[in-house]
Amino acid sequence: MTGLALFLIAMIAIFFGFPIAFTFAGVSVAVGIMVLGVDLFAFMPYRIMSTMQNTILMAVPLFIFMGIVLQKTDLAEDLLESMGKLFGGLKGGLAISTIIVGLFLAASTGVVGASVVAMGVISLPVMLKHKYDPKLATGIICAAGTLGQIVPPSIILIILGDVMGLPVGDLFTAALLPSFILVVAYLIYIIVIVNVRPNIAPPIKTEVDEPRLTMVLSSLKLIIPPLFLIVAVLGSIYTGLATPTESSALGGIGSLLLAIIYGKFKFKLLFDSALETVKVSSMVFAVLIGATAFSMVFSYSGGETIVEEFFISLPNAQWTFVLIAMLTIFILGFFIDFIEIAFIIVPILTPIALSLGLNMNWLAILIAMNLQTSFLTPPFGFSLFYLKGVAPPQIKTLDIYKGVLPFIAIQMLILGLLVCFPELFGLSRLN
């Protein structure tokens, strides 16, 4: 029972606020030495070196760099302004604009915190000024900002590809249709709710009477450059011209070119973006090293065998496994970050799923969609904290909590459809 005791001790320590990376590493070393002996860790340096030389994980800091550079070029502000002009005259037009901009930011930056903060600073005051319901406005911003979890090139898909031993390009392809359907579901909800309750998202009147054609052309000038970068990065992967790691390098260079095109490039921007990338990447890899120690002790102590035998012995093992796995990830998402879940929980689930004959691409997309929900679930959803930090004083935390509930329901609906009818999304349940 050493492995299960290890897991429980680590979870308790996390809930008391200890740093994730050092908690898993410290608990693993302490328990491993006491129970299995110090020789267990003789190969730990080789595991760490293998992690550092992993070419798939090299894509993580490069995509993070791309996102931070684009964030610092005020891409979100320009896109929101242009989309607001195009759709603002419609009922719920600003809400529709925010979802579309969230999709663009997800596909070009993929940094959830940056997307939520940018739209919270720029879009939320405009929506409140034009009498949007605060709950609807905050819910839309949080939901749109979290699209970076599932829309390629998603950092979590890269991590899942490495942890589960899957080609990242295949995961990007598998995620396209589910992410598109999720965005469409958001838009349908907005259109329905603003027609049922018109007062919560009234149309806005533009102060300047600008010709429609001029408005469209000026908007296209802002939309086409980031769209071209998205097509170049993802297209190079889907056509086989580049691996995800190579395309991430292309994205990094492309983001700098966009900064030059927008007239925002400075060497300070380059330095600040590189420094921020190092900070975020260091956090990710610190968690990964801690998770490596944890998984090694958990495996050698027989924890994996106990968990696998438990699931295989259950009736309707495949369905029971998927339901328990999704419920576990959903509950843990209330308390801990998606990176920790990916590095700690997913390695435990992967061999069981393989033994049950499940399609691993399908399972990876289920996990990614579930982890996206964790950003919205109160009380500890990270998007809620990001938005509260930049929201005007009149926005209460309870408003944000209530605002995200419909979007959590939509995500759970799409997740349920993915579980029950994977064929609708071009996926298969079994290998």
- CB of 4 closer than 8 Å to CB of 303: yes
How confident is the model over 188-246, as pLDDT tens digits?
999 999 889 888 888 776 555 566 677 677 777 777 887 888 888 888 888 888 888 88
Q: In the numeric block, which tokens belong to residue 109?
A: 């930056």
Ordered by start, the domain boundaries in the chain are: 1-53+272-299, 55-265+302-425
Q: What is the mean pLDDT of each run of 10 residues along the chain (431 residues)?
A: 76 75 83 81 81 79 83 73 72 85 78 74 81 90 87 86 89 91 94 89 67 72 80 83 86 88 87 88 81 79 74 81 88 74 85 90 92 78 78 85 91 92 88 74
pLDDT reported for residue 212: 65
Alpha carbons 371 and 330: distance in angstroms, whole number: 7
Q: Residue type at 338? A: F
pTM score, two decimals? 0.81
How confident is the model at residue 363, as a pLDDT? 93
Q: How many CB atoms lie within 10 A of CB 347?
A: 18
The reported pLDDT for the residue numbered 203 is 79
- Provide DSSP, 266-306: -HHHHHHHHHHHHHHHHHHHHHHHHHHHHHHHHHHTTHHHH
Span 37-60, pLDDT tens digits: 888 788 788 878 887 777 777 888
CA 334 vs. chain centroid, Å, equals: 15
Overall residue count recorded for the chain in this entry: 431
Using CA atoms, how far residue 379 sits from 11, 83, 191, 314, 402, in Å, is 18, 31, 28, 33, 11
pLDDT on residue 210: 62
Q: Give me the pLDDT at residue 24, please.
A: 79
What are the two backbone dihedrals, phi and then psi, of residue 314, each rounded to the nearest 5 degrees? -75, 150
The whole-number pLDDT of residue 271 equals 93
